[in-house]
């Protein structure tokens, strides 16, 4: 397990299979980059008890099973890469998992 900064977000293998269920509204068949980042940040905070200082995604998350985008989170002065992978799509609900780089 990787500890990012003092008292900051703990990330790594424990969060590798964190599944998010989102009722995000789809915009043209995808979840907007801002919405994907916001929901992912909230779910990481729920999992580890502290929200990252920043969480950004440059690309929208396609609402297609298996689709992936890369994002970044900042915590305690360090930056980590993050992969969001869509696990299922059901109407307007998109589920994805977060894999924080080790």
Q: Note the pLDDT tens digit of each residue in 77-101.
A: 999 999 999 999 888 889 999 999 9
> pLDDT tens for residues 15-39?
443 444 444 556 568 999 999 999 9
CB 18 within 8 A of CB 47: yes
Of 43, 42, 39, 53, whose CA–CA distance to 9 is shortest? Answer: 53
Split at pLDDT 50, 70, 90, the class of 40 is very high
């Amino acid at each position: 397990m990787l500890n990012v900064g003092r008292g900051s977000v703990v990330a790594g293998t424990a969060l590798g299979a964190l599944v998010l269920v989102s009722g995000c509204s789809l915009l043209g068949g995808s979840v907007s980059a801002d919405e994907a980042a916001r929901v992912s940040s909230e779910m990481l905070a729920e999992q580890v008890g502290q929200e990252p200082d920043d969480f950004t995604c440059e690309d929208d998350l396609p609402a297609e099973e298996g689709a992936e985008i890369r994002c970044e989170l900042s915590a305690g002065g360090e930056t980590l890469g993050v992969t969001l992978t869509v696990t299922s799509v059901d109407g307007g609900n998109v589920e994805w998992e977060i894999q924080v780089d080790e």
